Amino acid sequence: MTVCALIAAFNEEATVAAVVAGARRHVPDVFVIDDGSADRTAERAAAAGAVVISHAENRGKGAAVRTGLARVLAGAWTHVLLLDGDLQHDPEDIPKLLAAGERSGCDLVIAERAFAKGEMPTARFYSNAIGSWILSRFIGAEVTDSQCGFRLIRTGCLRPLTLTATKYELETEMLIELIGRGASMCRVGVPARYNGSTSKLRSVRDTCRTCLKAVWYRYLRRR
């Protein structure tokens, strides 16, 4: 495998350098999409060794990932590793995904966090559980952490896709499209980590939006 990492970041100056440095210990090339940050996210990512692509204004996580994928898919990498810039995805878990990809040959490796009721906000626990259950029914494969964007994906499976999501529903769109086209999937357990920062994801609102979008992607959108 030849792997690059792609990090969508918005106002992550406090953590993005650590994420980039951690990712570079395991993959040689790291791209950061600075999604219109008002702080020094881009500067700190570049100083840590990332190639930075900046949006002039905030467009949403999905739009940022799509911008990054356009750059990655123009290259020769066989796989792209997606992770967030806020340290909730620990770069030290990257070898688990790489090993699973090498060992299994799967097109898609998903990191799944171990959630325990009472150890995370109640709304977030239930929104993730409900969203994961619904998505599992749609794609015909078990997914227990549908909102985790920590993934390793074969680039050849991404090239035929026309992704349209602009916000957090991108992860759902990618799963539905990839599995619907026959991509193989495996799952890797990782610890759930919280660094004290406030999540940009709004559990109820974004889960409802994602579920509605899942219906659209699965049943209504013309292919």
Report the share of the chain in percent with pLDDT over 90: 59
Confidence of residue 149 (pLDDT cuts 50, 70, 90): confident
DSSP, residue by residue, 82-139: EEESSSSS-GGGHHHHHHHHHHH--SEEEEEEE--TTSS-HHHHHHHHHHHHHHHHHH
Section 89-110 average pLDDT = 96
Side-chain-side CA neighbours of residue 56 (13 Å):
0
Section 7-19 average pLDDT = 98
Contacts of 180 (CB under 8 A, 6+ apart): 139, 218
Domain count of the fold of the chain = 1
What is the domain range of residue 167? 3-220
CA diameter of the chain: 44
**Beta-strand relationship, 79-84 and 3-9:** parallel
Side-chain-side CA neighbours of residue 198 (13 Å):
3
The identity of residue 19, as a single letter, is V
Count of all residues that appear for the chain in the document? 223
Place of tokens 């739009």: 63
Q: What local confidence, expressed as pLDDT, does residue 99 receive?
A: 97
Q: What local confidence, expressed as pLDDT, does residue 109 receive?
A: 96
Q: What local confidence, expressed as pLDDT, does residue 86 receive?
A: 93
DSSP, residue by residue, 51-86: EEEEESS---HHHHHHHHHHHHHTS--SEEEEEESS
| Of the candidate ranges 24-33, 34-43, 205-214, the one whose mean pLDDT is the lowest | 205-214
**CATH number where 15 lies:** 3.90.550.10
- Read off the pTM: 0.82
The identity of residue 109, as a single letter, is V
